[in-house]
Amino acid sequence: MSVKPFLRLVVRPVEFSAGKWIQLLKRIVMALPQPQQAVRFRLLPMLALCLIAFSSCRHKVKTYESNCDIDKDFVKISFKHLMDSLAQYDRQYVEVTGKYEEDKELSALVSDGRSLDDTSANGLWVNFSQDCPLYLKGTHQGLFEYADGQFTQINNKSITIRGVIDLHNRGSHNRCKASIERVSLVKL
């Protein structure tokens, strides 16, 4: 087996079961030049780790979009900068990334954990609205719909969100610093 077919085999993204991965690894090791048996079988675990690393990097980003505010320009801003200068962004359209937290009477975007201040009191209340239904791009599957035997899991996940900042709405029991309204995009 020459190097080019070997590279095509490794680089091509294909979904395999665990048994198929093992068969593939054995074929790759056997196709390598004929070193001593001990060296050949030391290569097998290293190749397995490489293939696992390649396959784990293929996280598909799910984008849920709404037709609300598609004509608006959104300012892409870091969560920290937004929270440090909230007054400047009141009634502005923003795109921000953070960790989403939900619980009883809680729907908040907080710092993604890189700072010590990642509580909902220092976050944004996320006000999802039925006026701006979010659908998985290219489908009619809603963000909050039951699909594939479960609901879309967004709690404690890093998400990118677009919406309008409102300093006057601080969420349930005024738990947050401000809110993000008219959510028109969620990327998981």
Q: Would you put residue 103 in left (φ > 0), alpha (ψ -120 to 50) or beta?
A: beta
116 pLDDT band, cuts 50/70/90, is very low
Q: Where in the chain is the domain with CATH 2.40.50?
A: 63-187
Q: What's the CA dihedral at 99, 103, 107, 113 to 10 degrees?
A: -20
pLDDT at residue 55, rounded to an integer: 60
β-pair partners for 72: none
CATH fold, domain 63-187, is OB fold (Dihydrolipoamide Acetyltransferase, E2P) (2.40.50)
CA distances from 98 to 1, 78, 157 (A): 47, 9, 8
Q: H or E stretch including 109? A: strand 106-110
For the stretch 6-52, pLDDT in tens is 444 444 445 556 667 677 767 766 666 665 555 556 666 776 676 66
Give the lowest-confidence range in 2-6, 70-74, 113-117, 133-137.
2-6
CA distances from 11 to 7, 41, 53, 130 (A): 6, 22, 12, 43
CA distances from 184 to 72, 132, 157, 177, 188 (A): 11, 6, 18, 21, 14
Given a contact cutoff of 8 angstroms between Cβ atoms, the answer to whether 174 and 47 are in contact is no
Greater pLDDT, 111 or 146: 111
pLDDT at residue 7, rounded to an integer: 45
Given a contact cutoff of 8 angstroms between Cβ atoms, the answer to whether 136 and 64 are in contact is yes
For the stretch 123-177, pLDDT in tens is 999 999 999 999 998 888 888 887 777 778 889 999 999 999 999 998 888 889 9
